């Protein structure tokens, strides 16, 4: 496994293999867990060369967010990548010009809701860095976790709108045995908070059960979900049902949708989502 720190070096190594080998790319901010490893395994199955980037992107953190505190665990991350058969880790020190970017990408509308509403500018930072990374790596496919559903949807739109020739693949959320979605931020949870955190997934499942038993009104499902959260003394930042592709809010579930939640448990802001598929759509296991 090669660890490469500069764009020039990565380009030099990839130039001779690009035309013959299929390249899969897994962008990350490090602090790798089983969820990331499942993305790498998928990449390994689909391509000849697997490249993982590890870069904590300052542009996607707001002024009061955890950029400085975000865990940097490069040695452990590199050992995990090696074990998963990753070919190259791209670990740049800084991707931004010293005096700042003169040109960046801006997400339109898709970031007015859900996490984007609470984190202004976050998705502009995500698409700007992912676009940079795509330009550097030029992969055939790129793999993202479904836990960040809004991020995945926005990156898919970026690929379509900007005519990128990269297949964007979503991988189902990887969960702890009690249902908690794996996240680098789970390490901020105290033991009590860790016990509480799986309630988020339980509430999503409870809402999906109600949908499968015939409730198709989004407002009614959200009311039931909020009541369950209140029982656990959890005040969500949002609990919403949206069309899975357009992210538009819905009143009745008539298209494949997602139930999405964000809530602070202690100091950790956790997110999760699950699909609401209509009977004719294949049910996804989460
Ligand atoms: O999902 C993440 O870890 C980040 O948002 C990403 C896609 C690596 C961009 O910094």
Long-range contacts, 277-284 (Cβ 8 Å, 24+) = 278/253, 278/254, 281/256, 284/172
Number of domains in the chain: 2
Q: What does the DSSP 8-state code read for residue 181?
A: B
- Is 91 annotated in the active site? no
In a shared domain, residues 58 and 100: yes
271-284 tens-digit pLDDT: 999 999 887 654 45
* Domain end call among 117, 141, 171: 171
Torsion of CA 74, 75, 81, 83, to 10 degrees: -160
In a shared domain, residues 116 and 194: no
- Position in ligand 1 atom list of the atom nearest CA 56: 10
> Nearest C-alpha to atom 2 of ligand 1 is from which residue?
28
Does pLDDT of 127 surpass 60? Answer: yes
In a shared domain, residues 15 and 152: yes
Does pLDDT of 217 surpass 90? Answer: yes
Half-sphere exposure of 193 (CA within 13 A, CB side): 14
The conformational region for residue 102 under phi > 0 = left, psi -120 to 50 = alpha, else beta, is alpha
Please give the angle made by the CA atoms of 132, 136 and 141, to the nearest 5 degrees: 90
Residue 216 lies in a domain: yes
- Position in ligand 1 atom list of the atom nearest CA 155: 7
For a pocket test of ligand 1, which of 67, 122, 125, 126 has the largest count of ligand atoms closer than 8 A to its C-beta? 126
Q: What is the mean pLDDT of the chain?
A: 96
> Nearest C-alpha to atom 1 of ligand 1 is from which residue?
28
pTM over cut 0.85 = yes
* Domain end call among 138, 171, 204: 171
* Domain end call among 171, 206, 233: 171
The catalytic residue among 33, 36, 93, 281 is 36
Per-residue pLDDT averaged across 210-219, rounded? Answer: 97
Residue 236 lies in a domain: yes
């Amino acid at each position: 496994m090669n660890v490469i720190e500069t764009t020039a070096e990565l380009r030099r190594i990839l130039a001779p293999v690009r035309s013959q080998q299929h390249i899969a790319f897994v962008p990350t901010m490090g602090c790798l867990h089983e969820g990331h490893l499942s993305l790498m395994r998928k990449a390994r199955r689909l391509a000849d060369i697997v490249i993982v980037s590890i870069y904590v992107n300052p542009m996607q953190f707001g002024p009061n967010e955890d950029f400085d505190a975000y865990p940097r665990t490069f040695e452990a991350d590199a050992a995990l990548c090696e074990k998963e058969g990753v070919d190259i880790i791209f670990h740049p020190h800084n991707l931004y010009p010293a005096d700042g970017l003169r040109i960046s990408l801006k997400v339109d509308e898709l970031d007015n809701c859900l996490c984007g509403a609470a984190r202004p500018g976050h998705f502009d930072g995500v698409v700007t860095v992912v676009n940079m990374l795509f330009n550097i790596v030029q992969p055939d496919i790129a793999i993202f976790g479904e836990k960040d559903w809004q991020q995945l949807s926005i990156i898919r739109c970026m690929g379509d709108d900007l005519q990128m020739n990269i297949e964007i693949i979503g991988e189902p959320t990887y969960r702890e045995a009690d249902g908690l979605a794996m996240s680098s931020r789970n390490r901020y949870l105290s033991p009590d908070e860790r016990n509480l955190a799986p309630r988020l997934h339980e509430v999503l499942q409870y809402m999906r059960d109600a949908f499968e038993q015939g409730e198709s009104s989004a407002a009614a499902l959200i009311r039931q979900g909020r009541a369950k959260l209140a029982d656990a003394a959890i005040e969500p930042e949002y609990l919403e049902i949206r069309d899975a592709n357009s992210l538009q809010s819905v009143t009745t579930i008539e298209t494949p949708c997602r139930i999405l939640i964000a809530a602070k448990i202690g100091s950790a802001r956790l997110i999760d989502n699950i699909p609401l598929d209509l009977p004719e759509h294949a049910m996804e296991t989460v």
